[in-house]
Structure formats: structure tokens, C-alpha cells
Chains A and B, each alone.
Chain A
């Protein structure tokens, strides 16, 4: 066995670059160990251990912002620690923390094992954190598969619910298909770039820098173009962009509510970071990249907003409206081709989306009954009278998603629109305005159900709302903080705002 590479690794300090991920992995293992060691009646404390652990890792991430590897490579170029990547690590840790809090609410309503949920959640989070720092197709694919396989399990986590199992199966099959497409694209790119007959050929085409160099020499090579389109298609599945969004409503409905939230926020965020990294790598082929992404953005916005109009199930509604949000973010990605500020706008949008989405999903987890997949708009009738706090959080969350000032979501949309206008994407901007107006309609009808409608259903056959349990202290605190942060970020952008300014 050749130990020299291990020795080299131990000789430098590369491993410290990924210590937040290592800590997460250790925490995940500790959870499983504790479940074996601890007596059964103490198991209910394990979620708290997981949450406290993530909370403790967050500051360590903030330390790695300032020291060490920022704007540098590690592991022989497998990872590149961009400043954006550091911000997104915080994003994923926050997502994991909030998903965990939702888990304490949602899992309590079901008879399922708890510890494994947190274990898988932590592993997936660590993989996402590596994914957004990858600088090499091997790293990208391994991290992406770790994420996806973990999510297969999480989506089908409610084993006794046919909806959950159906969702798990659909996600598995379509996910495998998209991974295959992605791999095929990578293989094509690698093969083409290694052809010695071409100028700028390289043996290390898995590395993004080398690949960009090759593409700069051969921007119009046919097989490379096919490879690029296939890789983009694979990523489009993860972010649920048109025409790869077809899995969204069923999977979002069937998956446990915390997992739906994690899919909607963290998985989408990871997808967009990967897309940004790849767009940078494929930048020499802008002639191909720009029209493909533009078409995708326009179609995604229109499809998402029109499809969401007819939904009555709130999980499906969140899924399809999430498709619209993916479209807005794609608009930012297209603009990022020419405007530096678009990248900052995408990060701001993602953070605003995280706050608002988790606020809405948090309320959904509270309102949901024993059947997690059955969450109808009519269940929200009269919520403002019975639970004014939940209704207020819901209104703030939905308002922010709809992009109503003075909430954070509006600022995100504004920045994306400014970037798009500067990039000259007038047609897409018109589509986006239409999308915003339509989205006001369906978000507002949800708010209307919660505030204006009475709790008594007009027809006798409408299912009555499941009984509302009291809001726990932790969940209440987290929901309050999310709503507060959404409002605050609308008025005062502070540190996140400075990220936006062109550097």
C-alpha cells in the first residue's frame, strides 16, 4: 500500500480546511453510538444533542471565514475555498439546524425512529458543504451522490405512509436518471478534452481550471457542447428547473415536511452554487450557455407560476412556487454572465428564501395532522383567530416569498432585477414581472385563507382542520426569529448588503 500520499496529507494542514465537515461527520457517528450506548428512555434527548452540535459548529465555520484557506485550493485542487463557498457553508449549517427543529415538531406526530433522521441529515449537510467548494468533477460527483442518496432515504422516511414511499421511489428513479445524464456529460467532456489532436488538450480535464482552459481553446467543439448541455441538464434536475421539474409536486407532497423544507432550500441552494461554479467553468462557451440558461429561466418562471395557480395542497403549492423561485434565481445566473453584482444578488436571494421558506414550512409542520401528506389550503381557514402567532409568521413568510416590501424577499428580487436589467435581459425581465404578479395571486389566496376565511368550511364534505397542538418553546422561538430576521433584512441589509456591492 502506498502511504506516501497519506504522509503528504498529514504533512500539510489541508484537513483543517474541512474541519466543519469533519466535525459534522463525527457528530453524526456520535449520535449513532449514543443510541446504542444510552438507555432507551434517554433517546428522546438525542435530537437536542444533534441541534446543539450543529449550533456549536456554526461559530467554527465563522472562524474559517477569516483564517486559512479562503481563496485557495486544497487536496491537490479537489477543493477550492471561495469566499462564496464559505457563506454557503453557513447557509447549509443554518438549513440543517432549522430542518432539525422542524424535525422535532414533525417526527413527534409519527411513529418513526428519530436518531437516524438526524444522522442522515448531518451527513447530507456535510456533503453539501463539500459540494459547493468542489473544483473537480470527481469531488463534485461524489459529494452530489452522497447528498442525493441521503435524500432518497429521507424522502421515503415515513415508511408506513404510501405517499412518502411513492415520493421516495420517484425521487430515486428520476434522481438516478439525472445522475446518469450528468455522468455522461462529464465523460464526454473528459474524453474530448483529453484528445491530443485538439489545441489546449489536457489529461486533467476533471479539474475545472484545466477544463476552462481547454474550452477557451475550443469554444465551438461539438462534443464538448453536448457534454456541457448534459451536465447542465443533470444540475437542472437538482434545482428543479424546466424541463426537469416534473418530479417536484409529488416528491414535495410525499416527503416529510422537514425534508420537503430541506429539499426546497438546502438542495436548491446547493444546486445553484454548483450551477454558478459550472457557469464560470463553461464561461468560454457563453454562446451556448447564455441561450440555454435564458430559455430555461423563462420557461421555469412561467411553468412554476402557472402550475402553482391550481394547487390546493400547500406542499405541492410550495413545490411549484419553488420552481418559480428557481426561475428567478436562474435569471440571476444568466445575468451573472456579464454582471458581477448578480452573484451577490443570488446569495442575498437564497438567504431571504431560506428565512421565508423555513418560516412557512415551520407553520406547516405545526398545522399538519397525523397524515403529513394531507395539508390542504382549507386547513388554514381561521388560523388567525385560533393561532394569531402562527398566522403572523405565515403571512410574513409568504409575503417575503411573494416579494412584498418591506420584507427580505423583495430586496432579493429587486437585486436580481437590477442585475438582469443591467445585463440587458429585457425579455426575461418581462416574464419575471408576469411571474411575480401571478405569484401574488396564489400566495395571497393562502394568506386570505388564514386571515379572512372563517374556520367553518362552507361545504359539509371539506375535511376539518386537524387539531392544533400548542406551539413548543423552541419551535416558537425559532419561528419568531425567522419572521423577525425576514422583516429586519428588508429594512436593513447590513453585512449581507455589503456582499452585494461589486468588488
Chain B
């Protein structure tokens, strides 16, 4: 069956949203939990479905599964237009898989006020699917915000220490970033003369009549720094470790794993193809900020962390530096590397946050200095964590390897010096990643941990924790061994939107 009787993209957005509404309207708890399984499974199944059938589709203006629904704003050029191209397909799949894992992990967590927690996660899931399925730039932004609001609330209610401060800081930073990028998008809408938020129309009009150098510089700056705050571009990154440190595990998985990729996706899908001159103008600033700031400075900062969640939070900021370096290259290779790295990093960081929480259940602390020797009592947990750490460092066999390698190759053509810095970053991330794994799992147990272990007997991962971790690890390995499943459609789209306009310009 290659053709479903309904729109898989709309279903992936509507199903979690409808279930969230049903839970909000007072469904009993038993049913809420059961339906939540469906709410997380449907987007994941739809994501796999479109991944499987993507190559058989005949793309319309570069997009497969293209549909449009009117919301009464046709006169302003706004409409819910859904579709996938080679750039959005990998991220759509990522959102579906990480969402399923985060949902499963949340259901087994048995958090306080579980119904509200699941409801917010479902809203977030709907927003995530919508972000990557939207062809309309307005709805791309709209769904991002829809997914962002539950993050704030979840940090505020279920967060760890400093949750009030963290919730406020994350809200203010991310609102500022979102507002800047919104102004940038409005600028595209108005300055291009398209008077439409439809990305296909925007592309056509800008290809026929490119914007001037000054306009491109200014609009790209708005988008770069607006999206940059959202993706924790140094020095605007300070919300990220704080927020992830405080956020409950499933929220951190979904935000760090998927939602944060919104900004990079916006740069790759919208800013770079539409504003090539602007991106060239800012590429050196961006490369310097990302290369020295995100990779080197934050890499060293990460090495100094003593708290497991902070290590993961900072390392995620550091890895975003690689992605920004790929954006700065402005080449098919660089952009493709960024998309691959986004998928790989999303899977691996979600896995790390999941495992960190599972570790916390056993050690009752995130302090690395108070752990040790957990591998003897929880070998499966240790195996998962070490695998996730390897993936995060970028060992061959995992998806991250392809992303980083591609970016380094693209970067070499851009700047030799930065490539050296970036590759030295891999060493840094190996140091802190392996050291964290060693501190938690190997060596003799510390006194503090021995006391905790005596009070609460330590068990290995149970199946309900293993299942979401397995989903993520399997996806990491699958892409690691068969990257072609993502790169074939990606390459086709990138060649169309990056090379074709450049060739037409010459």
C-alpha cells in the first residue's frame, strides 16, 4: 500500500493534538495513558511511512505529499501547506522517532500530574511534526511556538533545581530569538514582493528577482541571530545548559533533540537558498563565533563540568557549533552535513538525556564525583551509555560520524585553520564524554554512591526504559550504516535549491 486514504502529514500533526484536547477535556487517567501511546505512535508510524514511500512519490515543485488547507487568510498569502522535501524528510523522521521515545519514557516515568505532563508532551509532539511538514513559512514558525510553550510550562512545573529562574530565562531568551526571526521572516515576505509566506512561491519570486546585497545582509542577520539564539549560538547560549539542567527528561529530549533544530533547519531550508549574498557576507562572523566560541570555548567549559546533565547540556551547545560551521560553508556538502548531523545529534542527545535520568534514578544525584562502579550493577545501562557517548563523539558506525565528516570536508574548502580547530574539538568531546562514562560506570564505587546503593537497591534498565533507548540507538546505527537512505533525497533537493539558483545566476 503506497497510498493512504488520508494525508499522513496532517494526521501526524492532528492525532497528538486531538488526543491532547481529549485529555484536557477530562479523560480518565487509564484511558489518557492508553491514548497517549497512540498519540506518540501515530506520528512515528506516519514518519516511517513517508520515509519508506518518499522515493516513489512524484514531487510537485520539489515537494512530496503536497497538500494545502485554507485557514481564512488566503488574501494575505497564508495557508496551511504541508509537504516534505529532501531537507525536511530526515527531520520529520527524527521528530517522529524521538517523539515516540520521549513519550514512552514519559509514560513509564510515572511523573506527578501525569495527565498534564502527557498532554503537554502531545502538544509539543504535534508542533514538532508541524514544523518540519510545513511548506508555509508562517506555519513553520507557528508550529515552533506551539511546541515551545509546553517546554516553558514543563520546566516550570516538573523542573529540577532553579526551575523558576530557568523557566523565566529560557522563556525570555527564546522569545527574543523567536521575535527576531519572525521579523526576519516578515522582512522576506514584504521585501521579496511576494506577499506570500508560501516557501515555493517565495523561492520562485526570489529566483526571478533576487534581493539586493544590503537587504540580504540585513534580513540574513535577523534570521541568523534570531535562529542563532534558538540554537544556542555562542555567546547567546547561556539559556541552554541551565534550561536542560532543569527540564524534565522527556522535555529535554524533545527540545534538545528536535525542537532546537528548528533554527538550523530554518537557516538551511529558508535563509541560505533565498539569501546567498547575505549568507556569504555573514559567513566569516558566523564561522568565527561557532568555531572559536561554540566548539573551542564551550568544549573546554564542558570539560570543567562536574554535573552529568550539565555535561550533556554543554556538549549539545558545542555540537551545534559544528552545525553552524556547516551553515557557514554555504555549499551542498556543508548543508547536507548539517542535516545529517542534526538527525544524528538529535537521536544521540535524546538518548543521553534519557539515560542520564535513568542513571539519576539509581544514583539519586547528577554529581559525577559522587558516582562510580555503576556498570557492575547495571551493565545494560552502561552499554547503552557508552554507545551513546561513542555516537556523540562521532565514532564510525554511528550517524554522527557522517555528519561531522561531511562538515569537516566542506569546511576544509572554507578555512583550513577552522577545520583544525573543529577537529581538535573532537578530541575535546572524546575527553569529556569518555571521562563522564568512566566516572559513572567504572572504577570503584564512591562512598556517597555506596550509601545510596545500600539504601536503594540498584537494578538494571527495565524493559520500559529499554524500549525507547533501543528505538533511538537502532536509528543511530541504521543511519550510521546506511546513510544513503537519507542522503539520496537530501542530495536531490540540495542540488535543486542550492546549485540551480547559482547556475541560473551565472
Contact = CB atoms under 8 A, between A and B. Distances in A.
Contact of A444 (B142, B171, B180): B171
A165 B259 CA distance: 52
A437 B146 contact: no
Contacts of B171: 440, 444
Contacts of B189: 418, 421
A399 B149 contact: yes
Interface in B62-77: 71-76
Given A437-B172, A437-B179, A452 B146 contact: no
Interface string B52-93: 000000000000000000011111100000000000000000
B190 A418 contact: yes
Contacts of A471: none
Contacts of A307: none
Interface string A485-501: 00000011111111011
B401 to A, nearest CB: 37
A414 interface: yes
Interface stretch (A126-134, A251-259, A404-412): A404-412
B76 A417 contact: no
Interface size class of A (residues with CB under 8 A): 20 to 34
Contact of B157 (A440, A451, A498): A451
A221 interface: no
Contact of B76 (A341, A399, A444, A445): A341
A496 B75 CA distance: 12
A491 B146 CA distance: 11
A452 B190 contact: no
B153 interface: yes
A476 to B, nearest CB: 14
B73 A493 contact: yes
Interface in B161-214: 163-164, 167-168, 171-172, 175-176, 179-180, 182-183, 186-187, 189-190
Given A406-B145, A444-B171, A451-B156, A418 B176 contact: no
Contacts of B149: 399, 404
Nearest to B152: A444
Interface in A438-483: 440-441, 444-445, 448, 451-452
Given A404-B149, A500-B75, A500-B76, A441 B172 contact: yes
Contacts of A410: 145
B175 A414 contact: no
Contacts of A399: 149
Interface residues of B, number: 32
A452 B179 contact: no
A389 to B, nearest CB: 10
A422 interface: yes
Given A417-B182, A500-B75, A501-B76, A452 B175 contact: no
A305 to B, nearest CB: 13
A451 B157 CA distance: 8
A405 B146 contact: yes
A502 interface: yes
Select the residue from B74, B76, B190 with max chain A CB neighbours within 10 A: B76
Interface centre among B74, B180, B183 (most CB of A within 10 A): B183
A429 B145 CA distance: 20
Given A405-B142, A448-B167, A437 B72 contact: no
Given A448-B156, A497-B73, A417 B172 contact: no
Contacts of A498: 72, 75
B218 to A, nearest CB: 9
Nearest to A494: B72
Contacts of B146: 405-406
A314 B503 CA distance: 59
B179 A444 contact: no
Interface string A387-416: 000000000000100001110001000110
Contacts of B141: 405
Given A406-B146, A414-B182, A418-B189, A448 B168 contact: yes
A415 B72 CA distance: 14
A444 B138 CA distance: 24
B183 A452 contact: no
B224 to A, nearest CB: 16
A101 interface: no
Contact of A452 (B74, B164, B186): B164
A433 B145 contact: no
Contact of A448 (B73, B164, B190): B164
A318 interface: no
A436 interface: yes
B175 A440 contact: yes
Given A452-B164, A501-B75, A421 B157 contact: no
A55 B172 CA distance: 42
Contacts of B73: 493, 497, 500-501
B157 A417 contact: no
Contact of A493 (B71, B153, B182, B190): B71
A418 B186 contact: yes
Given A417-B186, A421-B187, A452-B157, A502 B75 contact: yes
A418 B194 CA distance: 13
A436 B178 CA distance: 11
Nearest to B174: A440
Interface in B228-261: none
A452 B153 CA distance: 9
A493 B72 contact: yes
Interface in B427-464: none
A418 B187 CA distance: 8
Given A341-B76, A437-B179, A405 B71 contact: no
Contacts of B180: 433
Given A421-B187, A436-B179, A404 B75 contact: no
A445 B157 CA distance: 14
B76 A433 contact: no
B24 to A, nearest CB: 8
A345 to B, nearest CB: 10
A342 B71 CA distance: 19
Contacts of B152: 444
Nearest to B69: A492
A58 B176 CA distance: 41
Nearest to A341: B76
A318 B90 CA distance: 45
Contacts of B72: 492-498
19 contacts: A405-B146, A414-B182, A414-B186, A418-B190, A433-B180, A433-B183, A441-B168, A445-B168, A448-B167, A448-B168, A451-B156, A452-B156, A452-B167, A491-B71, A493-B73, A500-B75, A501-B73, A501-B75, A501-B76
Give 9 closest A-B pairs by Cβ, nearest first. Answer: A501-B75, A497-B72, A405-B145, A494-B72, A493-B72, A497-B73, A452-B156, A433-B179, A440-B175
Interface of A: 341, 399, 404-406, 410, 414-415, 417-418, 421-422, 429, 433, 436-437, 440-441, 444-445, 448, 451-452, 491-498, 500-502
Given A405-B146, A429-B183, 16 more contacts: A404-B145, A414-B186, A417-B182, A417-B186, A418-B76, A421-B183, A421-B187, A421-B190, A422-B190, A437-B172, A444-B152, A493-B73, A495-B72, A496-B72, A497-B76, A500-B73
